[in-house]
Every structure is written in C-alpha cells, then in structure tokens.
Structure 1
C-alpha cells in the first residue's frame, strides 16, 4: 500500500507537523499489506508515548487500487497542571515511616506549576515553589524542536535550595543527619541543554550547568571530608552527554521492548573544578512477553567515577534515588562505582476502567492495570574511602513478590514484600517503575 496523504484530526493545541514528526509516516511511503496492522499499531503507540494524548487512532481510509490515506485521530490530555507538592524528604516511604517515625518535619510542601505542550510543539515549562524540609525554587523549560527539520532542541535550567538539616556522614550503611536552626546547606544551579533527535527512537542531549554550594561552618569542622579538605564552599562546571533510546510499547509502563539511557559526564572544567570527576552511567531494561498476560523484565544499572578519591558529597552509590536493591531500602551503600541487576516476572491479574462523574467525557474513564510479580535483585558497590559498612564492597542479593497498579498520567503504585540476604523481611511502597 502506498500512502497518498496523512490527515490529522482532534488536535486543538498540538501542532499538526509535530504529530506528523512523531508518527513517522509521509505521503509516498509504502507499507506491505501483511505488515499493515502491526505497523499502524506501532505508530499509534509512538504517538501515545509522547505523553501528549489520552487516546490515538490510526486508520486507513479512501483505499483505491494500491493507494490509501492515513487518518490519525487524537484525544489531547490536559496540559496545564497546578500540582500540589507533598513529598517526603527521605529516600523512600519506608525510611520515613519507620526510621524517621513519620516526622512531618521531614516533609516538603508547595506547588508545581506545570504547563505541558506550551506552544503546541511538545515543549514544557515547570516552575516549583517548595517549603518544608528543603526550601526550593526552580524553573525549567524544554523545547524539543527549534528548527524546521524537527531535529534540534534546547532547554533552560535554574534552581535554588537550602536546608537546615544535612546528611553529613554514613555509619553502618545508615545515613547520619546534623541539624541546626541556621541554614546548613545552600545550592545554586543554572544551565543550558541542547538536544538532537534525527530518528524516532533515539535522542542525544548535552547539558552544561554551573553549580555553587555552600555549607555551614559546623559541618566543615565536624566533617571536613564532606566537601573535601574542610572546604565550606565549592563551585564547579558540569558537562554531560546523554543518549536515550526507547523502543517500547509504552514509556509509562512498558511490557515489550527496550529502554536505554547512557551518560558520560565531566564534572569540573577549567577553574570551576572544586568537584572533579569523570562519570559513566548506563541503564538498560528489556521487556518481553513470555506467554498469555505474562511478561519478563531484565534491567541493569551501572555507574563508575574516576578517580575513586572523592569527597563524601560525591560518594552516593546504591540506596539513593532509584539505584537500590528491592529489600534494602533502609540502607545506603556509599561508593563511586556500582552495578545493579534486576529481574522480574509479572502477570496481569486485572484490567479495568473507573468512570468518574462530573468530569469531561474524554477524561472520565480512568484505566487501571494490576500486575502480580516475583523478582530478584543483585548488586555490588565499590568504595575506596567509605568501604567499612557491612554492605560495602560485597555482593548483595534480594528477592520478593508484589503488585503493580498502573494507570495513565504516568502513575504507578508498587506494593512489594521483600527479603534480603541479611534475612530481613518487609513490606515496601514505591510510586515509580522498578526498572
């Protein structure tokens, strides 16, 4: 079949040429008939994965001889979100609930003003105003297309934060915190980003950021290794290249395909080199169907920094952000290099919609998918300076079973019961994908 023309319907905000860029089909393209349904479904999912639309339909119309039209009908999301901020300052829910005894002093509140698809070109602007444990203000803007070829993009980054409490050291693979009435840590960050995207699935990005950090005198005296050499202030310029490859049926909750993220970073350039390292980071996840409603997932996260002699601030390895073993959420393993391997088998047990009254029709149906899963994790973290905990420089492994509850707007609740190699068991809650 030869495509005669491509028509787009239903887009009130999003520019038609942006949709056509993501669709990747143009007049004159040829699709073999035996591949037609698979190809159109793949293109539909590409548009869904932009996070611009709730629903997308791609149909063939006006078929005459070997020629036909492609008609794309989209249902746009809400693009303006004044989202209240209520988040925990601790690394995960369990640490806050158990170890920090549900302290409201360790909660951040505020508002995030998020405008997606600002000019109809899939550009996003986000402003955040936050008080509580961390007082923070930030502004980010990302414009993926600045040229007629839809390949080049740019972005702006700015943030300022300050804290009265600081994680100044680690003992026994547990974070230690120091608090005073004055502000103990202040961080300024500003930067630019550039992106290049020739193919649909691959995006290249370059970030250039400047960071200035200042800590209180008491921290520099009690823990001179925090910033290194007893320093109270540091400044550094950071240059990072990021390669992102995504070919999966969904970015929000993938069940088939591959996701890859690779980063090469040089922190410390010229005279702005108070933190100086080269970092290489890799994250890969492979998703595939095993049999009816049953899926397998294998993920890898790895990082290395050179040189290995770094101040405490630059020694965060396993247990921070999303770099942890399921079942070791209460612990941190400091270091400059780590490797984590995660494997999961999951089966869909429920798939249903909840209908909301008093809501516009296109937003009234909220889909839910419930997945039962079993999993195992393994990992290793290397530290030259902070390798004295029971988990440092040691092979680690965990396992467990759980439930994933996924919906749209990138929402996923994970309920997991895990056991680690220390024999410790527990129920853990998370709100992000486990790969």
Structure 2
C-alpha cells in the first residue's frame, strides 16, 4: 500500500505540473463494410471530439492530415499511432484516441477523441542552484541555502491556439521574477508565431572563477550581481517536425566592485557592468516517438548566435552550436542511441563569464558531474544501449478511468561518453584541452508523461567511480 501511495503522489504531482501528456488509449477501428481488396482508404471527414478549449483547426494542424488524404491499409495501425503521438506531444491532452469509422468503398471517416488536460495551475518551484543533484548533495553538503523556492503560474492554451503564459516568482539562492508569453500561431496558415520575454534576477553569490576544474564561488551579505533580460521571439513552422526560431533580447548585467576586484576578468577589463543586444537563430527538427524519453527517431538542433550588435554592446562574439541524437530499436525492447553536442565560439579570447563549456546545463559527460571544463569550443559524443527488463501497471481506483492506470517501465543500460573542450585562456586545468572519456551502467525508471529517473554508476578517466542521479534526457 505504501508503494501505491508513493506512485499516487508522484502521479498527482506530474499531472499538476504537466510535464508531458501520458500515453492515451488507441481506440479500435470500426471494420464494418471495410473493403478487403483496397490498398488504401481516402479520409472523407475528420471528426474531433472532446476539445472544449483547443480549437479544432489547431488539432488538425498538429495532426498533419486533412480530408482527402489517403492512408495505406498496410500498417495503418502504425500510421495512426504516429499521428496520435503527434497530438500527445503537444502537451495539450491527457489521452488521445483514434478510430476509423463509416467505411464506404475506399472512403472512411477518421474520428479523434481527446481529453484535455488542466490548463490553469500554479506550480511550486523547488530548484537546486547547483549544476546537478550530486554536486549539491556531496560537494555543497545538501545546503538549503543553495535551494530556490517559489511559484510559477502557468496559463496553457489561453486562446485555444496552444499559446502559453508563464509568470515566475522565486526566492532563495537566486531571487527572480520572470514573465513569458508564446503564441505559436498568429496567421491562418498556422506557420508564424511570436513571443515576449522578460526576466530579472539578483544573487548574493556567484561563480566568478574556476580552479582545478572546480567552480569557485564568491559571496557577500549584500546582493553582488543583478541581471535584466527583455526581448521578442519569432517562430516559423511550415512542416510538422521542423521549427525555426529567432530571439532578439536586450541584456544587462551588473556586479559590485568587490566582484571586479576579486576577479577583474569576470566581465573583462575589471568592468562592473555590461549591456548588449543578442540575436539568436535556432532550427529544430524533432521526429521521435516521444519528446521526453525517445526510443525511436531523430533529434536535430542548430543554433547561430551573435552576442553584441551595434556600438553600445560591451560583448562581441559569434557562437555556433549543434545537437544531434539518433535513436533505434535493435530488437524487441532493445534500443540504441547516439548523440553529439558541439559548440564553436569566436573569438577565443573571452571574459570568464563567456567561457562555459563542458559541465554546464546539459553539456556534460556522465561520470564527470563534479567537474567543469571551461572553454569557448567543445564537443561531446554519447552512446547508450538500453534493454527494457520489466514493466508493470499500478491501478488507482479513485482516479478517472482514462488515467487510473499508471505504467512503470524499467530499462537497464550501458553507456560511454567522450569529449573535448578548448580554451585559450583557461587551459590549465587537468581536464582542459585534452580528450575526456567516461562509461558506466544504469537503470532508467520511466513512468507517466515519459518522465524519467536515471540512476547511473559511472567511472571516468581519472579512475573515479560514483553513483549519479538525473531526471532529464541524457542525449
């Protein structure tokens, strides 16, 4: 009973947070009057049911089908499953079902039944200030001073166009307020979108230098760092799987004189404040079975960024970044994955604040979580072999029938990573400007919304071993 209570709490939290829609049920096809000798059917009508908030034309846009399109009878179940997952990946629905009905010769109707999720809710914020759980738990002694608390108010699907408003209020290690609005469709062709960005934060402590590939923090009682960001975004999405985005932001950062004295190179030349315009272009291609925990398909993301535009900008660099991941099904319940992350930034002579390479955010090698490798350019290659070893369901009788069954999957894995970071100014650490490699074994626990807990035992090239915990995608 204790296990059931635990997973019930986990489910309610995930449902409230809205990380990702769960897998819906595939409705059986109505084969009445189905032509046995037809190689394909023509979709006569597409009927959508259950969408009280979401506009039908938005659903049809994400579906990628229209009346008059054809479906091959051979493999029709797989075709419908692919379309169903497209709708689930929008994060608009808890379940999606598809049914082929009213067969007449080569024509039939496609009936889609959706169950919309909650769209308005506050989400509590509990966020670690450190780069990963292990660094906070081991190196920072599980200090609650390095925890951020707050609330995030989210209004999803505000106008029925899958638009989203986020407002954040955070206290703790970093005090922060932020407001974001994203409208993916502003035209009748459902291709163009716009967004607004605003954020302000301040800290009493900051990472102002690195020693032996470990972050060094500088702290005072008063606030020593403040940042402002405001800007606009534009998106273009002609195809279902490909999206182009442009972000134009104004950025301002200020530190007090103690920071510039402690490390004059933090912002460069002993400066206490910098401001600059930043232009970022991003192209994303996603064609996977799941956006949160993919096992089949491909991810591709490319970025080009110009930090510093015009004479009033204090920073000046150009950055190119690439992320590629390919996922395969080798055998039933056996999966392989290869991933690449790479960055090139020029010029190489940058202030410390612009020298973050391996070890920051999601750009890390499994087994080197305790280290950072500063630099302007890097690459990381990752490989993983997974095998699903166990799966079971937990039934929650108090929940609605459609979401009363919680699926749990356990996948065992082996993995190996390699990488390299180049730094012209900070190349004196034991891990800088040299090839890095790690490996290990682990277990992924995957449940509702394809959310995942990764438990990994890794070893790095220094001979160091350890158990590491993660909750985000490893590619």
1:244 paired residue number? 284
Q: 5 Å matches for 1:338-377? A: 338-377=378-417
Q: Which residue of 2 aligns with 1:310?
A: 350
2:57 aligns to what? 17
Q: Which residue of 1 aligns with 2:136?
A: 96
Secondary structure at the aligned position of 1:221 is classed as helix
Aligned length: 435
1:123 aligns with 2:163: yes
Structure 2 unaligned residues grouped into runs of 5+ = 1-40
* Displacement of 1:35: 4.0
What does residue 31 of structure 1 align with?
Answer: 71
Worse overlay, 125-134 or 75-84: 75-84
How do 1:33-112 residues align onto structure 2 when only pairs under 5 Å count? 33-112=73-152
Please give the secondary structure, in 1, of the residue aligned with 2:258. helix
Q: Deviations over 1:181-211 (max 9, x none)?
A: 1111000000100000010000000000110
Kindly indicate whether the alpha-carbon contact (under 8 Å) linking 2:344 and 2:378 is maintained by their aligned counterparts in 1. Answer: yes
CA distance in structure 1 between the partners assigned to 2:285 and 2:430 by the alignment: 36
Could you tell me whether the CA contact under 8 Å between 2:290 and 2:450 is conserved in 1?
no
The whole-number CA distance in structure 2 between the counterparts of 1:376 and 1:115 is 40
Q: Could you tell me which residue of structure 2 aligns to residue 151 of structure 1?
A: 191
Partner of 1:2: 42
CA–CA separation in structure 2 for the residues paired with 1:130 and 1:38: 44
Aligned to 1:389: 429
Which of 210, 219, 223 pairs up with 1:179? 219
* 1:10 Cα offset (Å): 1.5
More strand by share: 1
Change (3 A) 1:410 1:31: closer
8 Å CA contact retained: 2:305, 2:320: yes
Residue 126 (structure 1) shift: 1.0
1:108-257 equivalences in 2 (<5 Å): 108-257=148-297
Deviation track 1:351-390 (CA, whole Å, cap 9, x = no partner) reads 2332335434444333222211110000000000000000
What are the ranges of 5 or more consecutive residues in structure 1 without an aligned counterpart?
none
Q: 1:121/1:82 Cα in 2 relative to 1: closer, same or farther (>3 Å)?
A: same
Structure 1 residue ranges, 4+ long, deviating more than 6 angstroms after superposition: none
Whether the 8 Å contact between 2:419 and 2:435 is mirrored in structure 1 is yes
**CA separation in 1, counterparts of 2:332 and 2:108?**
34
Distance 2:398 2:168 in 1: 29
CA distance in 2 between counterparts of 1:384 and 1:308 reads 6
How far apart, in 2, do the equivalents of 1:138 and 1:300 lie?
Answer: 31
Q: For residues 285-304 of structure 1, what are the alpha-carbon distances to aligned partners after superposition, in whole Å with 9 as ceiling and x for unaligned? A: 10010101010010000011
Larger RCO (CA within 8 A; separation ≥ 6): 2
1:402-421 correspondence to structure 2 within 5 Å: 402-409=442-449, 411-421=451-461
The alpha-carbon distance between structure 1 residues 385 and 285, as it changes in their structure 2 partners (threshold 3 A), is same
The 2-side partners of 1:41 and 1:363 are apart by 18
In 2, distance between residues paired with 1:212 and 1:206? 20
**Do 2:355 and 2:375's aligned partners in 1 also have CA atoms closer than 8 Å?**
yes
Structure 1 match to 2:3 = none
Q: Which deviates further from its counterpart, 147-156 or 69-78? A: 69-78
Distance 1:86 1:357 in 2: 30
In 1, Cα distance between equivalents of 2:449 and 2:312: 40
Change (3 A) 1:409 1:140: farther
Say which SS state the counterpart of residue 130 (structure 2) adopts: coil
- Per mean C-alpha deviation after superposition, the further-off stretch among 151-160 and 352-361 is 352-361
Cα offset, 1:410, TM superposition: 5.2
